[in-house]
Structure 1
């Protein structure tokens, strides 16, 4: 199993390469599609638009929400193409991590001038591998 920090680094490398090639201005779905292809090419398991169930007060909600990408069954990615990330975006990802019991997620905003400025790492009781 690849350590989560190495997995995150691989995703970030590919996101930067995609942003350098395409730049900002495309729909989120384009970046998601290309990123998933690049990560699969690197041998990673990639699931897109993962529907997630939730239980509240004894009732099952299926699906309750969906996440953009799940890498190797443990790294949650939320892809954005917005002018500015808000605190709500990070809170949304943290809630997803809590409900999925996952340690780390990446919020990737492809609309920034440089991809480096569009990366936010969110942790949920993270313990290094």
Structure 2
């Protein structure tokens, strides 16, 4: 069940990203995709924050420094956008580090680079809220 945590919200996010890619194609700047995806999320009524400051922790202590992800969807999904030829291990590690220091359970790495949209979903089980 934990692998399904926020899966519907993620499905909606990816659907919005596909809509942006369908409209614009690949190979444009990350900033263009960022703004376009923000508009599409708004059109579809998907709650998000753009460039929101997320709290960062060290050994359980809140730091003054904040992390600012590209998008923060449904209050729990960290989204890192790219417009590169291919996603690298470095991009994946970057997102996982962001998720860990902000204690967010789900992250999406979305690449608008050509020729097609590529996305990956990541889950850190230790940060899934007990309901």
Could you tell me the TM-score, scaled by structure 1's length? 0.83
Structure 2: gaps of 5 or more residues: none
1:9-20 to 2 correspondences below 5 Å: 9-20=11-22
Contact kept in structure 1, 2:55 and 2:102, CA below 8 Å = no
SS in 2 for 1:39: helix
1:18-65 Cα deviation digits (max 9, x unpaired): 1111111211111111111111222222111123343558783423x3
Query: 4+ residue stretches of structure 1 with deviation over 4 A?
Result: 55-59, 126-129
Relative to total residues, which structure has the larger strand share, 1 or 2? 1
Aligned residues: 124
How far residue 80 of structure 1 moved from its aligned partner, in angstroms, is 0.2
Q: Which residue in 1 is equivalent to 2:116?
A: 114
1:68-121 Cα deviation digits (max 9, x unpaired): 000111111100001121101111111111122211111000003121xx1111
Structure 1: gaps of 5 or more residues: none
Provide the alpha-carbon RMSD of the alignment. 2.4
SS in 1 for 2:80: strand
SS in 1 for 2:8: helix
Q: Which residue in 1 is equivalent to 2:46?
A: 44
1:1-129 to 2 correspondences below 5 Å: 4-56=6-58, 60-63=63-66, 65-115=67-117, 118-125=118-125
Inter-CA distance 11–59: structure 2 relative to 1 (3 Å threshold): closer
Could you tell me the TM-score, scaled by structure 2's length? 0.82
